[in-house]
């Protein structure tokens, strides 16, 4: 089982979600985060004081999928989230040791 963590532009999130559902991903956790890679921020002015905002809003998706579904899922995210500009985001893939469904204590890939 693999965990896919994807940080994408908020404007691309809906497309990413639809694309993942199309390839058969059945669950995900989504959070609104702030962050940056190499993308520059913007300046805000408040009553004459100027300051730089360099933590930009992003959307983070976390999903755990079976090994077989990992490549299709990553491809789907890439296709939907890419705009070609700096700030598109990143995808990280890690291996998951255990997965358990709380309701009935299923373990392994059946829990996904």
Partner 1 sequence: MMQRIVWRLMLALVLTCTLMAPAGFCVAPPQARNEAPPEIQAQMDKLQQQATDARSAGDNAWMLVCAALVLMMTGPGLALFYGGLVRRKNVLATMMQSFILMAVITALWAFFGYSLVFHEGNRFIGGLGYLFLHGVGSAPDPDYAGTIPQQTFMVYQLMFAIITPALITGAFAERMKFKAMLLFMVLWSIIVYDPMAHMVWGKGGFLNASLGGVIPTLDFAGGTVVHVTSGVSALVCALYLGKRLGFPKEPMPPHSVVLSVVGACMLWVGWFGFNAGSALAAGGLATSAFVATHFGAAAATLGWAAAEWIHRGKASVLGAISGAVAGLVAITPAAGFVGPMSALAIGAIAGVVCYLMVSRVKSLFGYDDSLDAFGVHGAGGSLGAILTGVFAVSAINPIFKNAQGGATAVGMIDGHPSQVLNQLVGVAIAWGLGVVGTLVILKVVDLTIGLRVSEEQEIQGLDLSQHGEEGYYLEA
Which residues would be at the binding site for partner 1 (CB under 8 A)? 44-49, 51, 53
- To the nearest whole angstrom, how small is the minimum distance from the Cβ of residue 112 to partner 1? 28
In terms of CB distance, is 44 or 67 closer to partner 1?
44
Q: What does residue 17 show for φ and ψ, rounded to 5 degrees? A: -60, -45
- To the nearest whole angstrom, how small is the minimum distance from the Cβ of residue 46 to partner 1? 5
Residues 112 and 98: beta-carbon distance below 8 Å? no
- To the nearest whole angstrom, how small is the minimum distance from the Cβ of residue 75 to partner 1? 36
* C-alpha R_g of the chain: 17
């Amino acid at each position: 089982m693999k965990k896919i963590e994807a940080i994408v532009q908020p404007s691309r999130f809906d497309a990413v979600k639809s694309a993942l559902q199309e390839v058969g991903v059945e669950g995900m956790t989504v959070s609104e985060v702030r962050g940056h890679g190499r993308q520059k921020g913007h300046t805000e002015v408040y009553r004459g004081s100027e300051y730089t905002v360099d933590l930009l809003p992003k959307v983070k998706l976390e999903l755990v999928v079976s090994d077989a579904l990992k490549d299709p899922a990553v491809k789907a995210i890439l296709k939907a989230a890419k705009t070609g500009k700096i700030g598109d985001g990143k995808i990280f893939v890690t291996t998951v040791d255990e997965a358990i469904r709380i309701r009935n204590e299923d373990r392994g890939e059946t829990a996904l």
